[in-house]
Amino acid sequence: MIKLPEPIITYPAILEYLPQRPPMVMVDSYYGSFNDEAYTSLYISPDNILLENDELSGMGMMDFLAQSGIVQMGNMTFITKFSKESKMGVICQFKNFKFYSTAKMGETIFGKVKKTFSNATMASLDVEAFIGSKTLLKGTINAMIINNKTNAD
Amino acid sequence: MLINNFFKIKEQKFEDEKAIFIIKLIENHSIYIGHFPGNPIVPGVCSIEIIKECAAYYLKTHLKYTSIEQCKFLNPIDPLKTETLIVSINILPINENEYSLSGTIMDQNIPFVIIKCKTIKSL
């Protein structure tokens, strides 16, 4: 397991890379990319809207990985920022996801994102959520860029 | 749990291992404050959860996912434009505790989500 440095982007600066806004922001730190793998994390706060029985729900973990992928595909948000024609990265497919374990309120979960394919309009990402050496959830996400009006900025 | 909070079941029909639900989205749920500001869209993960919770409702138990072989998001769901959704799920028991689910979410004309996954009973 890689020893991560201090994050290079944290909340609220990370909002520049996401169309989501609170209470649906599910990633709060970005550590950069090492050997083609990018890392993110989320502190599971007591007010997380996707908590269930004091654990981050399955949908919370999936959204953490989806948003981790979107942060890694950050060039999408540069398009959002500089183009009048607003664009947004959207997840179009989850594939081969396996659920291994869960994370509790008060824990910090980490995300690993490896881009396996990308072009101007879409990307395929292998993603994994983990704490230490324990894998929580892993799978593949396919995402694309669409035109979409949003007031996120 | 999203049932009775994020969505409500209006009608249900069960045929062998197929369950069909007509659901209504609750359009002022706080999730839409952030997803997305001024442009509410049902989060993809909430669509996945809706299918699981409808299956659990049919089975009268709680379920959690063990795997999602494939889930395709074909069109975004706008809760302001889409009053009701049709959730169709084929529920196939694998053993006493595990179920294979194949489900779709659509309205009268538009398919939104297709999923194939496995679930297990949870406490």
Verify cis geometry, omega within 30 degrees of 0, for the bond prior to B36. Answer: yes
If one counts the domains in chain A, the total is 1
Task: Assess A147–B contact: CB distance below 8 Å, yes or no.
Answer: no
The chain B residues in contact with chain A (CB within 8 A) are 1, 30-31, 33-39, 43-46, 48-49, 64-73, 76
Q: What is the ipTM of this complex?
A: 0.95
Question: How much is the pLDDT for A153?
Answer: 43
Q: B30–A23: do the CB atoms touch at under 8 Å?
A: yes
- Residue A47: pLDDT above 50? yes
Which has the higher per-residue pLDDT, A62 or A91? A62
Interface probe with A: pick from B1, B46, B51, B65, most Cβ of A within 10 Å: B65
Which has the higher per-residue pLDDT, B5 or A81? B5
Q: B35–A95: do the CB atoms touch at under 8 Å?
A: no
A96 within domain boundaries? yes
What are the boundaries of each domain within chain B?
A: 7-122
Which has the higher per-residue pLDDT, A151 or B8? B8
Residue of B nearest to A96 (CA): B69
CATH fold group of domain B7-122: Thiol Ester Dehydrase; Chain A (3.10.129)
Residue of A nearest to B118 (CA): A98
Q: What are phi and psi of A126, to 5 degrees?
A: -90, 130
CA–CA gap between residue B17 and residue B51 (Å, rounded): 14
Domain of residue A137, residue span: 9-147
For residue B123, the tally of other CB atoms under 10 A from its CB is 6
Lowest mean pLDDT among A73-77, A118-122, B12-16, B93-97: A73-77
Q: With cut-offs at 50, 70 and 90, classify the pLDDT of residue A11.
A: very high
A152 within domain boundaries? no
Q: What is the CATH number of the domain that holds A40?
A: 3.10.129.10
A140 within domain boundaries? yes
Closest listed residue to residue B91, CA positions, set B64, B116, B66:
B116
Percent of chain A beyond pLDDT 70? 83
Residue of A nearest to B51 (CA): A59
A1 within domain boundaries? no
